[in-house]
Amino acid sequence: MTPSESPPQDVTARATKLRQQLQEASYAYYVLDHPTMEDEVYDRLYRELQSLEAQYPQLVTPDSPTQRVGEKPATEFPTVQHAIALYSLENAFTIEEFTDWQGRWQRLAGGDVPSEYVCELKIDGSALALRYENGVLVRGATRGDGTAGEDITPNIKTIRTIPLRLYGNNPPAWAEIRGEALIPLESFQQINQKRQHNGEMPFANPRNAAAGTLRQLDPKVVAARRLDFFAYTLYLPTEYAQIQTQWELLEWLQHFGFKVNPHRQLCSSVSAVEDFYNRWENQRHDLPYMTDGVVVKLNDIALQERLGFTQKFPRWAVALKYPAEEVPTQVVGVSAQVGRTGALTPVAQLKPVQLAGTTVSRASLHNEDRVRELDLHVGDTVVVRKAGEIIPEVVRVMPELRPEEAQPYQLPSTCPVCGSAVLRPAGEAITRCINASCPAILKGSLRHWASREALDIQGMGEKLVAQLVKRRLVASIADLYFLTVAQVADLERMGPKSAGKLVQAIANSKEKPWSRVLYGLGIRHVGSVNAQLLAQRFPSCEQLAKAKASDIESVYGIGSEIAWSIYQWFRTPANQTLIEQLQAAGVTLASEPPAAEEPASFNPQPFQGKTFVLTGTLPTMSRKDAQRFIEQRGGKVTSSVSQKTDYVVVGENPGSKQKKAESFRIPQLQETDLRHLADETT
C-alpha cells in the first residue's frame, strides 16, 4: 500500500463505526458515570482503530478517540481547568507488547538507553487531581476530559487518606498531586447490601461505586462510604525541589503525608518487570481492593521529560494489563434491538452468571457477521469475557455442549419494532430498518436530540420519550417545539409543574448554537467535533444544504464518506421538510456573524495542513481564542511538540514546549508573527 492509496470501503466503514462506538462508550463512562462497554473491549477496539489509522492516515479525523485525551466532563459540579493535564496510559497486554513499547521509547531517546522502571499495582478506581497552595489543600477535582474536571473539594476532604495540609516543614508554594480514589472491597459489599435493602440498584463494581460516590452532592454520604486514596504523581515549582527519579517522587509523597501503594518495586530489566507482573497476577485477588494490572514508569524523570507525551499518552509510562477473566454460561435467547440509525443489533440473553463480582445476563453480539462467525445457536454454552463488567463480550461458543434441539440464530428479515423490511447495504456489516417512521428510530432520534452534547433538554429522559412516541404526540424532533403544557402534563408521572419545566426547557433549546443543532440532527458519521468544524465552514444550515459533496470534503478533518453522507441527507425530502419545520419553530439554524477581525469566509485557509502548538500567555488572545484563530484558518492545534509540528506559538512564561521546539528546530512565532503569517499567506 502507498500513502496515497485510498482505504477500501469496508475499512472506511469499520473505522467510522469504531469511532462512533468508542466516542459513545467514552461519553457514557466519563460523563454519565454509566459504563456501556468493558475496559478490555474498549481497549481492543481502540487498538484496532489505531491500526487502521496507521495503515490509512486518510482515516484520521479530528474527532477520532485516538486524537484526543478524552470526552467532556459532567456538569453537576462546577467545571474547573486542570493546571496540568491528566493523561491516559497506553496499554500492553503481554510482555512482548511491553518489550515493543520499550523499543519505541528507546528509539525516541536516541539509542539503547539504560532502562530502570518503577512498577506499581494499577488501582481500579477513579482518578483525582489535588491542588495545594502553601501546604493547604485548596481544590480537588475529577479527571473529567483530562484538561477540565469537576470541582468536588468538599467530597475530597472527607477522604481521610488525603491530608488537608501537607506534613513537614517548608511546603512548596504550590503542588499538584495526582492519584486514585477507591472503595475497598469490604466497603463496596456493605454499600451494595444497603442499596439493595433500600430498593436501589447496586453498583456494578468498585470503580463505578467510587466514581458515583465522588459525585454525590452530600459530603456526608461520601464520608460514610470510607473511600481510600493512593497518590502516584507529583508536580512542583521548578525552584522548589529537584526530584530526579520516580522513586524519589513517591518517597516525597509519603514524607508529606500521602498514602502510596506499598506494592511497588524498582526494576532494572524487562525480566524483573515480568517477575513483578507474574507474582501479582494471582496475589492481587487477596488484596482488599481491585487492581487490573501493573503501571510501569521510567524511573529517570529527566528522561521522562525528554520523551514527553503523545496526544493521549505519556511515552514514558505504560499499563501492563492482566488478561480478562472468562466464564461459561448459556444463551437462553437472542433478540434484535433497533437503534436511532435503524441499526439492528443482536443481543444474547444469558443465564445469569457471576463475573468478578458482577451479575451478567446480556451480551451484545454486534452484527450478523459476528453471529455467523461464532456459529451461535440458542441454547449454546458460550465463554464470556470480563471487561468493564457491564456489557460482556462473547468470546467463543462451545459446540461440544450444544443441545440437539438448538437452532442457529438468524437476524430477522423485518424490523422487530415496526415490521418493515430491513436492508444490509453492500460493503457494510450493519443491517438496518429502512422505515424512517419506525418508533425505535424516532425514539433514538429524540433521545439524541435532547442529549447533553446536542440540544441539552433537561428532563427529557428515555421513559418520557417512549410515552411521547406511544401517545403519538411527536412524529419528528420538530414536533417537540409544538407540545403544550397540557399535553405533557397528561403523561405518566408528570404534572403541570414538571410539564411546564419541560416545555420551557424545550423552548430554551431553540437558542443552542447551530453546531449543536447540526450534531443533534443525527446525520450518520457527524459527531460533535465534526459538527463544530462544519458549522465554522458553513455558518448556516442553508449554506450547508446547498454545498456540493466536494465543498464539504474540503473542510479540514472531513473525509469523503462523511461528506457524502451529509450531501445525501440534505437531499432527502423528509429531511428537507424537517429543516423547514425546525425553522418554523424558531430553532437556531445559523451562527452569529463572525467578529470584525475574523474572516467572513473560510476560503482560502492559509494554515491548511499546518500543525501548531501553543505555550505561554499571549498578549491579547486567550488560549481558546488562539486555537480558534488557527483552526478557522485550516490549521490544527495539538498539545505536545513533535517533529511533525510546523510552528510553536510562544507567549509570556513559556513552558518546556519552547525548549523542545528549539531542540527540534521548529519555527517559533509571537502573537504578532501568527497574525502576519495569516495575512501573508492569504
pLDDT digits (tens, 9 = 90+) for 3-42: 457 888 888 988 888 877 876 776 565 434 466 776 667 7
pLDDT digits (tens, 9 = 90+) for 576-628: 999 999 999 999 999 875 444 343 344 457 788 788 888 887 877 777 778 87
Task: Decide if 206 contacts 185 (C-beta within 8 A).
Answer: yes
pTM of the model: 0.47
**Comparing C-alpha atoms, which of 83, 87, 14, 21 is closest to residue 51?**
14
Residue 1 has pLDDT above 80, yes or no: no
What is the number of H-type helices and E-type strands within the chain? 24, 24
Residue 536 has pLDDT above 60, yes or no: yes
Residue 573 has pLDDT above 70, yes or no: yes
Whether the bond between 403 and the residue before it is cis, its omega within 30 degrees of 0, is no
Backbone angles phi, psi at 442, to 5 degrees: -60, -45
For the chain, what is the mean pLDDT? 84
Contacts of 113 (CB under 8 A, 6+ apart): 106, 303
pLDDT digits (tens, 9 = 90+) for 65-103: 775 443 444 446 888 889 888 888 988 988 999 999 999
pLDDT at residue 40, as a whole number: 63
Task: Decide if 677 contacts 669 (C-beta within 8 A).
Answer: yes
Q: Which three cell numbers stand for residue 560?
A: 469523503
Q: Report how far Cα 397 is from the mean position of its chain's Cα atoms.
A: 31
Tell me which amino acid residue 35 is.
Answer: P
Q: For the stretch 350-360, what's the b/e string if a residue is b when 16 or more beta carbons lie within 10 angstroms of its beta carbon?
A: beeeebebbeb
Q: Which range has the worst mean pLDDT, 236-240, 452-456, 507-511? A: 236-240
pLDDT digits (tens, 9 = 90+) for 319-352: 998 876 777 889 999 999 898 888 898 999 999 8
pLDDT at residue 609, as a whole number: 78
pLDDT at residue 454, as a whole number: 92
Mean pLDDT of 464-489: 93
pLDDT digits (tens, 9 = 90+) for 257-310: 898 999 999 999 999 999 999 999 888 888 888 888 999 999 999 899 888 888
pLDDT at residue 360, as a whole number: 82
Q: What is the DSSP string of 126-146?
A: EEEEEEEETTEEEEEEE-TTS
Higher pLDDT, 472 or 17: 472
Contacts of 187 (CB under 8 A, 6+ apart): 225, 226
pLDDT digits (tens, 9 = 90+) for 108-154: 888 777 789 999 999 988 999 999 998 888 999 998 878 888 899 88
pLDDT digits (tens, 9 = 90+) for 211-252: 888 888 888 888 888 899 999 999 998 877 778 999 999 999
pLDDT band at 680; cut points 50, 70, 90:
low
Look up 157 and say whether it is catalytic: no
Backbone angles phi, psi at 501, to 5 degrees: -65, -40
Instruction: Say if residue 652 is exposed, middle or buried (CB neighbours under 10 Å; 0-12, 13-18, 19+).
Output: exposed
Higher pLDDT, 56 or 19: 56
Residue 196 has pLDDT above 80, yes or no: no
pLDDT at residue 32, as a whole number: 46
The single residue of 17, 122, 312, 660 carrying the catalytic annotation is 122
